[in-house]
Structure 1
Amino acid sequence: MVDTNLVDLAIEASQKAYVPYSHFPVGAALKTKDGQIFTGCNIENASFGLTNCGERTAIFKAVSEGHTEFAELAVYGTTEDPISPCGACRQVMAEFFEPTLPVTLIAKSGATVVMTVEELLPYSFTDLK
């Protein structure tokens, strides 16, 4: 079941994106297991390698506040089909989320697809500590 509040918060977060180069705003909303929500947007930089995606912004905000147990993530992009997270975001999800954590991917039309972290990145780098 799609959490419509998370969807709305991800869309709202995309409106805060700093995207002067790509003009491609992305927003994310991450719910912790205790119900707190962290949002994030993509933040670009003229040195493109220093750009941070919305998904990672939300995850890093939560982790930096001491949260490491997560329930669900929603990601919105201005795409025709539900947005697909980049490889870096998928690997960060694999680092901090359980493999079965649901990730709702949202298109600009509002269409959604729900996938698990494991479905998004079946051969992640994990347990290398």
Structure 2
Amino acid sequence: MSHDLFEAARAAAAFSHSPYSSFPVGAAIRTPDGRVFSGANVENLAFPQGWCAETSALAQMIMGGAKKVAEIAIFAPRAAACPPCGGCRQKLAEFSDGSALIHLCDDRGVTQTVTLSELLPMMFKADLK
């Protein structure tokens, strides 16, 4: 993973709206063609109506015309590693065959890299014919 994906995730965390948990998260997705899309978590007083950083980044990716995740960096300043929640794992699976790299980051950079299949070994996949 190049350093720019980590930096994009760290920069995105600065835009987090997390007044209730005080737990900002940023995510940055790289598509197979090299484009980067980022997002931050957005909390809402009417919990659970907020959304995760990964969801924000996926929305940016879709709005940018991309449909596949090659890799994603996730950064939470208050955690050494912040893996995607179960819902975000399945959302990522919608746009990956499971080979997408998931980079968990701290302030220094990547602390661990796993594939989406490792995080979600029995991901739900529709048999679309």
Q: Provide TM-score, normalisation by structure 1.
A: 0.91
Give the alignment of 1:1-129 within 5 angstroms: 2-127=1-126, 129=128
What is the CA-CA distance between 1:78 and the residue it aligns to? 2.3
What is the CA-CA distance between 1:38 and the residue it aligns to? 0.6
The answer to which of 109-118 and 22-31 deviates more is: 109-118
> 1: distance between equivalents of 2:7 and 2:108?
12
What is the CA-CA distance between 1:128 and the residue it aligns to? 5.0
Identity level (%)? 36
> 1: distance between equivalents of 2:53 and 2:44?
14
Q: How many corresponding residue pairs?
A: 128
Contact 2:70 2:99 survives alignment (8 Å): no
What is the CA-CA distance between 1:109 and the residue it aligns to? 4.8
Structure 1: unaligned runs, 5 residues or longer = none
What is the CA-CA distance between 1:60 and the residue it aligns to? 1.4
Contact 1:26 1:76 survives alignment (8 Å): yes
Name the SS of the counterpart of 1:39 in structure 2: strand
Q: Provide TM-score, normalisation by structure 2.
A: 0.91
Runs (4+) of structure 1 moved beyond 2 Å? 78-81, 107-111
Q: Considering only aligned residues, what root-mean-square deviation do their CA atoms show, in Å?
A: 1.5
Contact 1:80 1:108 survives alignment (8 Å): no
Code of the aligned partner of 1:44: E
What is the CA-CA distance between 1:111 and the residue it aligns to? 4.7
> 1: distance between equivalents of 2:87 and 2:100?
17
Code of the aligned partner of 2:90: Q
What is the CA-CA distance between 1:98 and the residue it aligns to? 2.2
> 2: distance between equivalents of 1:128 and 1:106?
34
Structure 2: unaligned runs, 5 residues or longer = none
Code of the aligned partner of 1:7: F
